[in-house]
Structures are given as C-alpha cells and as structure tokens.
Structure 1
C-alpha cells in the first residue's frame, strides 16, 4: 500500500473515531420521527434556579456524576414525567419518560 494511501486511511479512521456519538429518544405515533416532548418542560439553557422556580422541586436530585477534567459536572433532577440533565448549573437536555409524551398532531402526511 502506498504511503499516501496509508496516511489518508489513517486520517479518515481518526476522524471517524473522533466524532461524538449522539442519541435521542424518538416517538413514531404517525410514522414521522419527532423528539418526545411535553407541552411544558424545561428547555436548554435554563438555570437550576429557573427550573425550580417554574416547575417546582424535583422528586429526586441525583448526585453530580464525576467527569473528566475540564468537563462540566452533570447533575440530574427527576420529575414525574421527565428527567432534566444539567451541565454545571444549566439545562442541557430534558428526557421525557416513556409513555408520558403527548402525541403530536396528525400532519396529514401518509
């Protein structure tokens, strides 16, 4: 194998392995992929104080998980219908518990 081809393949493999893995829960009530959402839930960027003020105290506050150096501390608050994930003191994601998402309106598409 030529040196150029070998370096190119190594670079491509490095890029593929460096890509972050993403996952999202989806609901397919009418065959169209949509993120599970509630009519009222915390949104990205809200502070812990804003979430507590607007949605009340969580049922459970899970201790911060240890992370690698230079990464934010991840904390989870569990509510009846969803779990809120915080990086340091800000919402990064809200995960709706299974079966709690409201069904999206039919879009008229087959």
Structure 2
C-alpha cells in the first residue's frame, strides 16, 4: 500500500514537471502580448532596420554599450526601459525590461 502511494506521488510529481515548460511558454506569450505598443501612447523604442546613428539621434546615448559578440557581430545597447540588439549596425530587435 505504501509503495503504491509513493509511486502515485512520484508520477504526480513527474506530470507536474513535464507540464512546467508548456506553462512557462504560455506565460511568456502572455507577457509579450501585454508589452506596451511602440507608439507615442505606449513605449516608443527603436524598430528593426534603424541604424545605430538613427537610434542614438532619436533615443539618446544608451546607459551601456556592450561590445559586439559573434559572427555576424551582435551588439547590445541598454537603455533604462529596454535593450536594443544590433546585427552589424542595424537594429534587429528591441526587448522591454521586465
């Protein structure tokens, strides 16, 4: 009897662990959907295709400029509310800080 309860507990634990990645993915999708729009009413931020010069002229000097890494070179600029990712000298993505 005790062995059956232990097996049932282990199976329940394994089922919970197996479901965790799916739940995490759902939470991530929900968080992305709630991201403020890139508009004057939301959080204006750099968009894909802008150059480094355009970003700095419009949004100012970042708090931190990380050096390029990898090939092609990926550079990060950290602003107070988001981080901008560049491939070469062009924006490929902007991620809002949580």
Q: TM class, shorter-chain normalised?
A: 0.5 to 0.7
TM-score (norm 1): 0.54
Q: CA RMSD in A?
A: 1.8
Whichever of the two has the greater Rg, that structure is 2
- C-alpha deviation, 1:36, in angstroms: 2.2
1:56 Cα offset (Å): 0.2
Aligned to 2:81: 81
Aligned length in residues:
66
Q: Which TM-score applies when normalising by structure 2?
A: 0.60
Of residues 82-91 and 35-44 in structure 1, the stretch that sits farther from structure 2 once superposed is: 35-44
Q: List gaps (5 residues or longer) in structure 2.
A: 1-27, 37-41
Question: Could you tell me how far apart the structure 2 residues matched to 1:56 and 1:82 are?
Answer: 13
Correspondent of 1:66 among 65, 70, 77: 70
Which structure is higher in helix share?
2
Tell me if structure 2 keeps the 8 A contact 1:82–1:97. Answer: yes
Higher relative contact order (CA 8 A, sep 6+): 1
